[in-house]
Amino acid sequence: MVIILNPNTKFISIRWKLVSTYLLLIIVTLLLINSFITEAIRMNYVDEKKMNLLTQANIIADRVMAYKYEADELDHLIKKYSKEIKSRILIADKTGMVMSDSYEFLKNSRLKHIELQEALKGKSIAKEYLLKDYGKTMYVAVPIIVNNSVYGVVFISSSLTDVYKNVQQIKKNYFLLSLLCIGITGFISFIFAHVIATPIEKLTDRITKMSKGSLEQKVEIAGNDELANLGKSFNVMSAKLAQVDKQRKEFVANVSHELRTPLSAIKLLSESLLHQEKANIDTYRDFLGDIDTEVDRLNKIIENLLRLVELDKEKFKLDYQITYVNYLIKKLITTLKPLADKKDIDLQFIQSEKIQMKLDQIKMQQALTNIIYNAIKYTPEYGKIQVSLYTESNEIVIKIEDNGIGIPEESLPYIFDRFYRVDKARARSTGGTGLGLALSKQIVELHQGKVEVASQLNRGTVFFIRLPNNLEIR
């Protein structure tokens, strides 16, 4: 399945989601702060003004109360204060009749304001109004008390325009500051989103390329955060996938090649037989014998391949049994001895101690047979093979040493690869499939062990099978 990711989805991309989320957050925050702060400032200003006006009204009330003024003197005093506090001041008597008005219009008329009524009851009061012609205005009324009884009222009407102008100015400044904050946040969040989205976009691009078949993809790693770790894991994964794919292709090519060789031989042999009109029975026997050998070879390859496939299965489970390793090896040596004897090879088993452990006997027998059989195959006549069993620093070691033809140094890293043979031509004559060591290694690794090899050309080869002692039961 090929997943094609659309690169033109910018407006729903993570980049835009991050930027818009940050912007939304900052805008909502600023709006909330704005409404709280400006309201608090407005209340503060209005309260200050109220306190101020009440104080002034009380001072005026004290003055009016202290000196009994003539009407003219009172007007003069009121006008002076009115100028000072930039407000209209009215003095009313206890009936609400205006005795003095700094603006004069209401002199000798009766005031009916609630504030005045309240003040006449002895209370000081201040209230804010929105007047049609004057805008926001504050009314303040304070009683003039003489000998514990209300003599009159000082009434102040003061415009709040200045107060609201100030609040408005603060709101304007705040708005400009908010715009700056939104701009800075937008810029920072864009850079942040870019830093987050770019590696994701690059990764997506590489994954798209991978899904189209080019498996070897790499992303550059910057920094050491979660995204860098994701990139590192991706690089490891793609390298592994590419390697597995390469191995798979090589394997398929090798299998085809290995199967084709005996098939071609069979085809050639049977065709030559068919075309020989007067072939005698011996020739037939000869050719059929060769065909039989090639069929055996085909069978062996397929058998080994099936074994490998079985071991490759993820859910493959070893059938562990408590085993005397000495006994297992002894049995093997007995089986293989006739083959060694054919070449007058001295095949010995050296056992320094009795070792018992949990093994999958059939599988381990397979692994050991392949290695010992190889030793016999690749050791010339009158050679010597020594199989030793011992424990070494918590490991159980099975050592198979021969003084045979050896393996060239440059071939050593590949001898456990499937179908690898040092000398392909010679391998055919020895009947090798190139799968034996791969099988042995796989089996030992399934037992949590490892296989090591050391060799010198024309001097001999030594294989070490190292198995963990934790399987051992003493």
Of 378, 401, 403, 447, which lies in the binding site for ligand ADP, with binding defined by CB under 6 A? Answer: 378
| Size, binding site for ligand ADP by CB under 6 A | 23
Cβ-based nearer residue to ligand ADP, 55 or 256: 256
Tokens of 96: 């609400």
3-class DSSP assignment, residue 104: coil
User: Which CB sits closer to ligand ADP, 156 or 451?
Assistant: 451
Output the smallest distance, CB 292 to ligand ADP, in A.
19
Please pick, from the candidates 340, 422, 444, 465, the single residue that binds ligand ADP as defined by CB under 6 A: 422
Maximum separation of any 2 CA atoms in the chain, in Å: 164
Q: Six-digit token pair at 180?
A: 């700056």
DSSP at 150: E
Q: What is the dihedral of CA 349, 352, 357, 361, to 10 degrees?
A: 0
442 touching ligand ADP, by CB under 6 A? no
Which of these, 113, 107, 93, lies nearest to 157 by C-alpha position?
Answer: 113
CA 421/CA 406 separation, integer angstroms: 13
Residues 6+ apart with CB under 8 A from 15: 190, 193, 194, 196, 197
Q: Which 3 state secondary structure label does DSSP give 317?
A: coil
Q: Hey, what are 409's tokens?
A: 């140094």
- Our finding on whether 298 is near ligand ADP (CB under 6 A) is no
When asked if residue 407 is in the footprint of ligand ADP (CB under 6 A), the reply is: yes
Is the Cβ of residue 251 or residue 420 nearer to ligand ADP in the bound state? 420
For residue 306, the minimal CB distance to ligand ADP (Å) is 16
Query: What are 350's two structure tokens?
Result: 């050296």
| Segment interacting with ligand ADP (CB under 6 A) among 16-24, 69-77, 224-232, 419-427 | 419-427
Binding residue (CB under 6 A) for ligand ADP from 461, 464, 465, 467: 461
Strand 346-351 and strand 321-324: the pairing is unpaired
Q: How far is the CB of 217 from ligand ADP (least distance, A)?
A: 33
Determine if 158 is a binding residue for ligand ADP (CB under 6 A). Answer: no
Nearer to ligand ADP, 231 or 432 (CB): 432
Based on the shown chain and the rule CB under 6 A, indicate whether residue 432 belongs to the binding site for ligand ADP: yes
Comparison of 297 and 447: residue with beta carbon closer to ligand ADP = 297
Q: Which of residues 92-131 bind ligand ADP (CB under 6 A)?
A: none
Residue (of 111, 73, 80) closest to 94 by Cα position: 111
Cβ at position 466, least distance to ligand ADP in Å? 17
The DSSP-derived string for 4-23 is ---TT-GGGSHHHHHHHHHH
Nearer to ligand ADP (CB atom), residue 172 or residue 459: 459
Q: Of 199, 262, 404, 449, which one interacts with ligand ADP (CB under 6 A)?
A: 404
**Total number of residues shown for the chain:** 474
Binds ligand ADP by CB under 6 A, chosen from 361, 402, 451, 466: 402
Smallest gap from Cβ 359 to ligand ADP, in A, equals 21
Q: Which two tokens stand for residue 325?
A: 């390793």
Contacts of 199 by beta carbon, 8 Å cutoff, 6+ apart: 219, 222, 227, 228, 230, 231
DSSP string, 369-389: HHHHHHHHHTS-TT-EEEEEE
Distance set, CA 31 to CA 44, 45, 52, 166, 174 (Å): 20, 21, 31, 19, 10
Per CB under 6 A, the list member of 143, 152, 199, 436 interacting with ligand ADP is 436
- Using rule CB under 6 A, residue 383 touches ligand ADP: no
How do strand 98-101 and strand 88-93 relate by DSSP bridges? antiparallel
Report which of 386, 406, 398 is spatially closest to residue 346, judged by C-alpha positions.
386
> Minimal distance in Å, beta carbon 18 to ligand ADP?
56
Residue with the closest Cβ to ligand ADP?
432
Binding of ligand ADP by 262 (CB under 6 A): no
CB of 406 to ligand ADP, least distance (A): 6
Closest CB 443 distance from ligand ADP, rounded Å: 13
Q: Interface residues with ligand ADP (CB under 6 A)?
A: 370, 374-375, 378, 402, 404-407, 415, 420-423, 427, 432-438, 461
